[in-house]
């Protein structure tokens, strides 16, 4: 396992509020990692920084063996380099069909002219069908994404994430609004993805994290409070005080 993403000494302040405070965190490839922490711990801001949405005031974000400085790249370049993101609130393109949503995410050339000339090859079509089967939407390909249930939208977004074929998946609360059996399916999906990639999951649900069975990072007030196995961190007195004890 080699280090894929290394965030070191990152701080960001919003209107005087220090959302991220000298945060250092690293993830390898392949690896499955869960990130937990109370509200306002900086979990989502951390993802915003890695994906280029928010620029930190200080610190470094380094990617891959070539040590690419992610802070110099635009959001779309970061996505192209191999970082995919699933948002907390499912954000799919509701006016468009499930197929079009997946086709847009499919790993292909992204320039306007290539996209203008694009037509689905047999491989693309097969891949879309394969993904749709994996996320349980193979009979919904022609449906409007907006007509899907909340859980199905979550899955469609996970499917879009997989379609991008990223090296690092940042997944924000994937199980929110899902039934227990849907959650189980989601856990399987993430664990399978983590066999070949780096997967970072933000989640509140302890049961869900226990099923992921992976290394856990606890964030608090914008920096890492504890890191290790779930049993290890849940025994940590500080963690109990700020998070679990409530």
Partner 1 sequence: MEMSRTTAAPVKRRRLLQDNPSVLWFMGLLGLFTLGITVLSEGFGIGVISTNLVKILGMTLCLCLIAIAMDVVWGYCGILSLGHFAFFGLGGYAIGMWLMYARTEIVIRDSLAGGTIPPTEREVSEAVASQIFSVVGSNELPLIWTFAGSLPLQLAMVVLVPGLLALIFGWLAFRSRVTGVYLSILTQAMTLALSLYLFQNDTGLRGNNGLSGLQNIPGFLHVPQSVISVWFFWASAFALGAGYLLFAWVVSGKFGSVIRAIRDNEARVRFLGYNVEGYKLFVFTLTAVVSAIAGALYYPQAGIINPAEIAPIASIYLAVWVAIGGRGRLYGAVIGAALVSLLSSWLTGGGAPNIDLGFYRIVWTDWWLVMLGLGFVLVTLFFPKGIGGLFDYLVRKQ
Per CB under 8 A, 94 contacts partner 1? yes
- DSSP string spanning the chain? -EEEEEEEEEEEEETTEEEEEEEEEEEEESEEEEEE--TTSSHHHHHHHHTTSS--SEEEEEETTTTEEGGGS-HHHHHHHTEEEE-SS----TTSBHHHHHHHHSSS--SHHHHHH----HHHHHHHHHHHHHTT-GGGTTSBGGGS-HHHHHHHHHHHHHHT--SEEEEE-TTTT--HHHHHHHHHHHHHHTTTSEEEEE---HHHHHHH-SEEEEEETTEEEEEE-HHHHHH-HHHIIIIIT-
The residue within the footprint of partner 1, chosen from 22, 88, 97, 236 (CB under 8 A), is: 97
Taken in order 86, 90, 94, 99, the sign of the CA dihedral is: positive
Please state the closest distance from residue 163 (CB atom) to partner 1, in A: 9
The residue within the footprint of partner 1, chosen from 8, 118, 179, 196 (CB under 8 A), is: 118
The residue within the footprint of partner 1, chosen from 17, 122, 237, 246 (CB under 8 A), is: 122
Contact letters for partner 1, residues 162-191 (x by CB under 8 A): --x---------------------------
Contact letters for partner 1, residues 13-42 (x by CB under 8 A): ------------------------------
Contact letters for partner 1, residues 125-164 (x by CB under 8 A): xx--x--------xx-xx-----------------x---x
- 16-24, 86-94, 148-156, 195-203 -> range binding partner 1 (CB under 8 A): 86-94
Contact letters for partner 1, residues 43-82 (x by CB under 8 A): --------x-x--------------------xxxx-xx--
* Residue 16 backbone phi and psi in degrees, to 5: 85, -15
Per CB under 8 A, 120 contacts partner 1? yes
Q: Which residues bind partner 1 (CB under 8 A)?
A: 51, 53, 74-77, 79-80, 84-85, 87, 91, 93-97, 99-100, 103-105, 110-112, 115-116, 118-122, 125-126, 129, 138-139, 141-142, 160, 164
């Amino acid at each position: 396992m080699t280090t894929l993403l290394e965030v070191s000494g990152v701080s960001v302040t919003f209107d005087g509020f220090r959302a991220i405070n000298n945060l250092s965190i690293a993830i390898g490839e392949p690896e499955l990692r869960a990130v937990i922490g109370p509200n306002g711990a900086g979990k989502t801001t951390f993802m915003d920084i890695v994906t280029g949405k928010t620029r930190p005031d200080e610190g470094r974000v380094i990617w891959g063996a070539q040590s690419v400085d992610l802070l110099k790249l635009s959001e779309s370049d970061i996505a192209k380099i191999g970082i995919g993101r699933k948002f907390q609130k499912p954000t799919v393109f509701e006016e468009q069909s499930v197929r079009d949503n997946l086709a847009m995410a499919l790993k292909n050339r992204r320039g306007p002219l290539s996209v203008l000339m694009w037509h689905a090859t047999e491989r693309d079509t097969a891949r879309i069908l394969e993904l749709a089967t994996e996320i349980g939407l193979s009979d919904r390909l022609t449906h409007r994404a907006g007509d899907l249930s909340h859980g199905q939208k979550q899955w469609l977004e996970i499917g879009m994430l997989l379609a991008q074929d990223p090296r690092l998946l940042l997944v924000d609360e994937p199980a929110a609004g899902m039934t227990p059996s849907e959650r189980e399916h989601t856990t399987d999906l993430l664990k399978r993805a983590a066999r070949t990639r780096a997967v970072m999951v933000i989640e509140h649900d302890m049961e869900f994290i226990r099923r992921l069975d992976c290394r856990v990072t606890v964030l608090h007030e914008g920096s890492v409070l504890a890191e290790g196995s779930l049993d290890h961190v849940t025994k940590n007195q500080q963690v109990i005080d700020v998070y679990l004890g409530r």
